Amino acid sequence: MHEISNLRQIRLLASPLRQGIMDALEASDAKSAKELARILGYAPDAVYHHLRLLVRGGLLVSKQCSTGIGRPYAVFALHTKPSRLRYKPSDRRNAAAITKVVATMLRDASRTFARAMAQHPVVSGRRRNLWAGRCTAWLTPRELEELNRLLHSITRLMLRGSPARRSVRLYALAFALSPFGARRRSPES
């Protein structure tokens, strides 16, 4: 697994569209700007601008393809799959950049949820496709380990999907696990 630790690259991901591009490419093979625009619901011109930024930033690679007729076109893929952000809580700049990316993720999750709510989602049963919640619990270190194993399992499930299968749809899952009531350390600590 590739860890993104470069501050410039992390800061590039503080955009919902760039995060969406990265997520869509993580869940599939290389795509053209037109294909990504269709998947993400944006105009191709807007997507292409963000693709160029991600290529320049070293997060994506681009190659020219040809259908044999007409103009060649570019397809884009992740530089390395899978990619994850590297958290360095003791590095003030890294912590600020990661926090900004997470804020963008959660804001975008809220917007995606609102759009889905307007599309008659399935909200109960085994095929439920819209769900949000928050749980607060007292966990032992062993229970925290179990929760992390389950989150890793969910992430692996999300990563093994493929757009080539029948009856598939791209889904986004956002979650944040943090100690409840976490406070800054006082200068005396």
DSSP characters for 63-132? Answer: EEE--SSS--EEEEEESSSSEEEPP-TTSHHHHHHHHHHHHHHHHHHHHHHHHHHTT----SSTT-----
What pTM was computed for the model? 0.82
Digit-by-digit pLDDT tens for the chain (189 residues) are: 789 999 999 999 999 999 999 999 988 889 999 999 999 989 988 899 999 999 999 999 999 887 767 778 899 999 888 788 999 999 999 999 999 999 999 999 999 999 999 999 999 999 999 999 888 999 999 999 999 999 999 988 888 877 777 788 888 888 888 887 756 555 554
Quote the percentage of the chain above a pLDDT of 70. 95
Domain 2-133 grouped into CATH 1.10.10.10: yes
* pLDDT tens digits for range 79-122: 888 788 999 999 999 999 999 999 999 999 999 999 999 999 99
**Which pLDDT score is estimated for 183?**
61
- At residue 26, the 3 state secondary structure works out as helix
Residues 6+ apart with CB under 8 A from 116: 129, 130
